[in-house]
């Protein structure tokens, strides 16, 4: 699951620094990308959820924690 999740995120967020930590069917995702610049935290998380929504809906992922940051916002 971690490999598939990482692959999806890398396709969606090219040139981003991506960290994925799995604990069973729970994921902690940290993405640092310029694409989040100027977006509210909720909008940033929505961008991430869009590319993994089917995994959540199917139950493959039970819980997801997202940190979506910009390089300047660290």
Cα–Cα distance between 54 and 35 in angstroms, integer?
A: 22
**pLDDT at residue 46 in the model:** 97
Provide the residue-wise pLDDT of the chain in tens; the chain has 74 residues: 899 999 999 999 999 999 999 999 999 999 999 999 999 999 999 999 999 999 999 999 999 999 999 998 76
Average pLDDT, the chain: 95
Render pLDDT for 31-51 as a digit per residue (tens, 0 to 9): 999 999 999 999 999 999 999
The CA distance from 60 to 15, in Å, is 26
pTM for the model stands at 0.92
Helix ranges, 1-74 (H):
2-12, 41-50, 53-58
Domain-wise residue ranges, the chain = 2-73
2-73, which class in CATH?
A: alpha beta
- CA distances for 24 relative to 5, 41, 44, 60, angstroms: 13, 26, 25, 10
């Amino acid at each position: 699951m971690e490999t598939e999740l990482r692959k999806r995120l890398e396709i969606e967020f090219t040139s981003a620094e991506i960290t994925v930590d799995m604990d069973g069917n729970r994921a902690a995702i940290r993405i640092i990308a310029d694409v989040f610049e100027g977006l509210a935290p909720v909008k940033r998380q929505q961008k991430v959820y869009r590319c993994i929504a089917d995994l959540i809906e199917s139950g493959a992922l039970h819980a997801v924690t997202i940190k979506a940051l910009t390089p300047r916002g660290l």
